[in-house]
Chain A
């Protein structure tokens, strides 16, 4: 089964600066989706960014961008110009591209603190 590893339980960043959250995964599949979800104290899971493995171009969404290294099975999230509202738990997730495989695997999460 696929596994997702987030090696940084906690990270801290100064407001307006840049921070990178790490994620690695293990799979034998060639096609898949990768996601970053944000979970603020409200507990709601909010999609931050999504990457299809067959796309070479790294996904970007405003201040959020990813560094997708398929050969290294690495999927890091970069948050630029960090804001106080970015403080949350961040989860990396993997989903197979197979039509009949609905199993999404999550990492254990990284707690991001933003200092004013």
Chain B
């Protein structure tokens, strides 16, 4: 039982390059999330997916796209990376709904640097 896994762990991009961050969970959770963490700030929600086939914008969605490929996988894409997107990215999953614990389980994070 691996929980939430993310790839890659580290990435360096040049401005304008594109890349996809991968996330997978094996806890059969319906909901998945992408956050970014910047120095001196807490995590901020980029996008989330309440269930397979649905995605919604969070607090800071500009410059990102997401795909909920299936129940297990939720990817984050940067189409044209900018230095402002240098950050640590976390994927999380949870079971949401009446009677659930609604606790989010986080992956280990991806440190992205955009030059």
Query: Which A residues form the contact surface with B (CB < 8 A)?
Result: 1, 4, 6, 9, 33, 35, 37, 42-47, 50, 91, 93, 95, 99-100, 102-109
Contact = CB atoms under 8 A, between A and B. Distances in A.
Q: Is the interface of B mostly helix, strand, loop or mixed?
A: loop
A67 to B, nearest CB: 20
A50 B94 CA distance: 14
B56 interface: yes
Among A1, A45, A50, A103, chain B packs the most CB atoms within 10 A around the CB of A45
B59 to A, nearest CB: 7
Interface in B57-115: 58-59, 88, 90, 92, 96-98, 101-109, 111
Given A44-B108, A102-B33, A104-B104, 15 more contacts: A1-B59, A4-B42, A43-B109, A43-B111, A44-B107, A45-B90, A45-B104, A50-B101, A91-B43, A93-B43, A102-B48, A102-B50, A102-B56, A103-B48, A104-B33
Nearest to B102: A33
